[in-house]
């Protein structure tokens, strides 16, 4: 990489950081918890949000911003659960940036509790972009293999919560959740780990309770 | 994106294209077929290469260049099959570039038939970088979902071969291989599709035969 390229990337990240700080301040002032979901394509981000939508129904008001390179598919799945959703299609870009969230934020109703942002499916690039969230999930699905944290460290280092998904497939796979968790914890001590099957419902109550605690901390000023 | 950023990206891609053309010319002059493997993390690229290594043993001389952000794990798995392997760790970069391959190429023995390049696990960024290969595989594993081609079109558009992996998990998943193939073919007509289970061996013979045909075409000057 040339010096010129490095400078441009640094400028982009600095500009993104400023935009993210403004979003974080706005969300906090509105008492909204922002949650950014990172993972490979097909790790179950949308399915997890569908399961959380069912769990939060009639208790907390949830909204979702969906990031994808192309298609409105994920937003449609979320709307089918009665949850407002906005689709950002990046048209090729490999991650969401804070300015993209900023553009949508004016449309998000003031009276919500939880704003989930589903990033573009990519375990690498989204890790470098703060979107103004107060909680970051990284998802790792059992079919991906328990050797992934050390191979893609930045995503795990930048996350607050590791969600090991597709636990229903564990009987058919060599995936060891303890190994995956230990490897992620070696990268990021203090990472909160949940093992879930969004399809069967395993672990969703515990994860939902953790999100609610984070919302309460935010509203009490201890985010 | 600013004009300056767009120009820098365009320069990077143009520089990469030149380096890739030199690699392609060198591989062809040495009668070596270069194959670039693209997919999400955990789609089974290394496991597919292990299965092909067993299939080609004593018939074709194979070598592998492994791309990862961190760790030597994949190269170690390939070496355990008796196949020479070089690990490129990008230290954060989300894709391999032709100049990285160029640096390793001098170490690759002249007397090989097939050079496989396993890209960084990322269904987005590697699609834009020609590595000088003559054949590009994109892998999509059944747990990732059959809705992925339209969401990540560039990877499928840039590929010659679609390998639908982890067919052994099909009984436990809603994945429809026909839907995935049809969606990919709508993006890239003429894409060759193989359904495989590298663990069980399904479909590996057909894929290996296709690779050998491509090698013969290259050596007869019809690549």
pLDDT exceeds cutoff 80 at B2 = no
Q: How confident is the model at residue B8 (pLDDT cuts 50, 70, 90)?
A: confident
> What residues form DSSP beta bridges with A135?
A35
Query: Does any CB of chain A come closer than 8 Å to the CB of residue B58?
Result: no
Chain B, residues 171-210, CB within 8 A of chain A, namely 172-173
Q: How many helices (H) and strands (E) are present in chain B, helices listed first?
A: 8, 7
Q: Residue B134: name the closest of B18, B53, B32 by CA.
A: B32
Q: What ipTM describes this predicted complex?
A: 0.93
Cross-strand partners of A87: A66
- The 3-state DSSP composition of chain A as helix, strand, coil percent (nearest 5) reads 45, 20, 35
Q: Using the beta-carbon criterion (under 8 Å), do B122 and A169 form an inter-chain contact?
A: no
Judging by DSSP bridges, how do beta strands B62-68 and A62-68 pair with one another? unpaired
Q: What is the DSSP letter of A146?
A: T
CB atoms within 10 A of CB B139: 28
Residues above pLDDT 70, as percent of chain B: 96
B19 SS3 class: helix
From residue A144, give the alpha-carbon distance in Å to each of A44, A173, B105, B158.
Answer: 11, 10, 30, 23
Whether the CB of A69 is below 8 Å from some CB of chain B: the reply is yes
One DSSP character per residue, B33-48 reads EEEEEE-STTSSHHHH
Name residue, tokens 């999930």.
A137
Beta bridge partners of B66: B87, B118
Look at residue A5 in the predicted model and tell me its pLDDT. Answer: 67
In contact, B91 and B9? CB cutoff 8 Å: no
* B121–A contact, CB cutoff 8 A: yes
More confident residue, B5 or B37: B37
Structure tokens at A24: 């974080």
Give the integer Cα–Cα distance in Å for B119 and B131: 10
Using CA coordinates, name the residue in chain B closest to A146: B42
A4 interface with B at CB cutoff 8 Å: yes
Q: Which residues contact B14 (CB under 8 A, 6 or more apart)?
A: none
**Cβ atoms of A57 and A36 closer than 8 Å:** no
Chain B nearest C-alpha distance from A203 (Å): 20
B103-131 average pLDDT score: 96
**Domains of chain B: residue spans and CATH:** 3-219 (3.40.50.300)
User: Taking CB atoms and an 8 Å cutoff, what residues of chain B touch A42?
Assistant: 40, 141, 143-145, 148
B175 — pLDDT class (breaks 50, 70, 90): very high
- With CB atoms and an 8 Å threshold, state whether A143 touches B145: no
Q: How many CB atoms lie within 10 A of CB B89?
A: 16
- With contacts defined as CB-CB under 8 Å, which chain B residues touch A4? 8
User: What's residue A221's pLDDT?
Assistant: 85
A95/chain B closest Cα distance in angstroms = 9
Q: Is the pLDDT of residue B143 over 90?
A: yes
The CA distance from B5 to the nearest CA of chain A, in Å, is 6
Tokens of B54: 């067993």
Tokens 């999100």 correspond to A211
B4/A5 Cβ within 8 A: no
Contact B71 A4 (CB under 8 A): no
DSSP string covering B106-169, please? TTS-SS-SEEEEE--S-SSGGGG---S-SEEEEEEEGGG-TTHHHHSHHHHHH-SEEEEE-GGG
Q: Is B151 on the interface with A (CB under 8 A)?
A: yes
pLDDT along chain A (223 residues), means of 10: 68 94 97 98 98 97 98 98 97 96 94 97 98 98 98 98 98 97 98 97 98 97 70
């Amino acid at each position: 990489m040339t010096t010129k390229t490095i400078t441009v990337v640094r400028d982009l990240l600095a500009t993104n950081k400023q935009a993210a700080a403004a979003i974080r301040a706005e969300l906090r002032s509105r008492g909204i918890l922002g949650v950014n979901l990172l993972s490979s394509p097909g790790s179950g981000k949308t399915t997890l949000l569908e399961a959380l939508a069912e769990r939060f129904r009639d208790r907390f008001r949830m909204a979702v911003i969906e990031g994808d390179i192309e298609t409105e598919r994920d937003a449609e799945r979320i709307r089918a659960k009665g949850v407002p959703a906005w689709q950002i299609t990046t048209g090729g870009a490999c991650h969401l940036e804070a300015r993209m969230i900023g553009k949508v934020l004016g449309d998000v109703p003031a009276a919500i509790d939880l704003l989930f942002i589903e990033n573009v499916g990519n375990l690498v690039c989204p890790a470098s972009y703060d979107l103004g969230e107060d909680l970051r999930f990284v998802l790792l699905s059992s079919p991906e293999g328990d050797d992934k944290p050390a191979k893609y460290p930045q995503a795990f280092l930048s996350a607050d919560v590791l969600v090991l998904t597709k636990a229903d497939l564990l009987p058919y796979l060599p995936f060891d959740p303890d190994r995956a968790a230990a490897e992620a914890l070696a990268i990021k001590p203090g990472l909160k780990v949940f093992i879930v099957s969004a399809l069967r419902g395993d672990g969703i109550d515990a994860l939902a309770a953790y999100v609610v605690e984070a919302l309460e901390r935010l509203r009490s000023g201890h985010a």
